[in-house]
Amino acid sequence: MIVPPPKRPGLAILPLVTTGLRSRVDAALAAFLDARRDQVERLDPSALPLVNEVRRLVDAGGKRIRPAFCYWGFRAAGGKDGEAIVRAAAALELLHTMALVHDDLIDGAKERRGVPSTAVWFSERASELGAPGDPMDFGSSMAVLVGDVSAVWADGLLLASGFSPEVLVPALSVYHDMREQMAVGQYLDVGGAECDPQVARRAAALKGGSYTVEGPLLIGAALAGGSEGMKEGLSRFGRPLGEAFQLRDDLEDGEALAGVTRETVNGLVAEAKASLDPDLLTAESIRALADLTDMVAM
C-alpha cells in the first residue's frame, strides 16, 4: 500500500493534493506497478527486485507535486475530470522516480525520503540476490537500471492513460521537450554551473523547475486541447514558480548560489501568482494553482 509522505517543517501537504487527487494518483500507480510486476514475473521471476524497488521508492512518500500540476493544467485548459488524466498525471511521478534515482547515484546520496537510496539498498543485498563482484558496483548498476525502467514505465503509463492518439501526440511533444530540458539542466549542474551565476540559474530552471511545474502544466493543457493563449498563460505562471521551487530546495540543502536568498524565491513566487489571469483561467483552477503555489513555496 502506498503510504502518505511524512510531514516536514516547511513542506506542508495541502488538502487539495492529499484528500482527493493524491489518493487517486497513488491508486493509479499501484495498479500500474502491479501489472508491471505480473509482466516481469512472466519474463523471469528473478528480476522482480527491479519492480519491487520502484514500488519501494513510490511507497516511501513524495508530495505528488508534478501530477497535481499536470491535472490542474488539464482542468485549467477545459479538461473534465476523469481517470485518464489521473493516469497521465501519475506517469510524471514515475518520471520523477527516475530523476531521483539517477540524481542520488550522481550525488552519492545514501538516503531518499528517509529510506536507503537505490544504490545503497542493492549494495546491502548483493549477496542475498546472488550478485557477483563488488557490492558497491552492483548497487550502482542497479540504480541505473531502476532509473531506466522507471522512465520506460512513465512513457508506458502516459501512452496507456486512455487519451486518443490525436491528443497524445501534442502532449508527447511537450513531454519529450521537458525530458530534454531535464538532461541539459543536469549536465550543466554536474559540469560546474556554479562557476557562472547565469548558467547556474539556467541549470536550476531546467534541471528541476521545468519538469516540476511548467512542463506538467503544459502536458495537462495539451491533453485538454488547450489554446496557445492558455499555454502561454500557464507558462508565465509555471516558469518562475518552477525556478523558485528549485532555488528553495538549494537554499534548504545549503547549496544556494551566491546572491540567491529567500527574497529571491519570494520574488519568483509573487511573479507566478500575479500571472494567474482571471480572464484566462477559471476561478476553480486559479484557487487550485494558488494553493499549489503556496505548497511549493513553503
| Confidence at 88, pLDDT banded by 50, 70, 90 | very high
**Average pLDDT in the chain:** 88
Give the cell for residue 46: 528473478
| Confidence at 256, pLDDT banded by 50, 70, 90 | low
Q: Is residue 168 part of a domain?
A: yes
The one-letter amino acid code at 23 reads: S
pLDDT score for 6: 37
Q: Is residue 142 part of a domain?
A: yes
The C-alpha cell 518552477 sits at: 242
Is 52 or 113 the better-scoring residue by pLDDT?
52
Q: Is residue 2 part of a domain?
A: no
Query: What CATH number is associated with residue 158?
Result: 1.10.600.10
pLDDT score for 258: 66
Q: Is residue 4 part of a domain?
A: no
Q: Is residue 114 part of a domain?
A: yes
Residues above pLDDT 90, as percent of the chain: 68
What is the rounded distance in angstroms from the CA atom of residue 77 to the CA atom of residue 281? 8
On the question of pLDDT at 127 being above 50, the answer is yes
pTM (2 decimals)? 0.90
On the question of pLDDT at 294 being above 80, the answer is yes
Q: Is residue 7 part of a domain?
A: no
Total domains present in the chain = 1
On the question of pLDDT at 189 being above 50, the answer is yes
Q: Which domain holds residue 200?
A: 15-297
The residues pairing with 116 across neighbouring beta strands, listed in sequence order, are: 111
End-to-end CA distance of the chain: 28
Q: Is residue 279 part of a domain?
A: yes
**How far is the CA of 94 from the CAs of 99, 111, 157, 161, 226, in angstroms?**
9, 18, 9, 13, 24
Using one digit for the tens of pLDDT, what is the confidence trace for 149-188?
Answer: 999 999 999 999 999 999 999 999 999 999 999 999 888 8
What average pLDDT score do residues 113-137 get?
A: 93
Q: Is residue 69 part of a domain?
A: yes
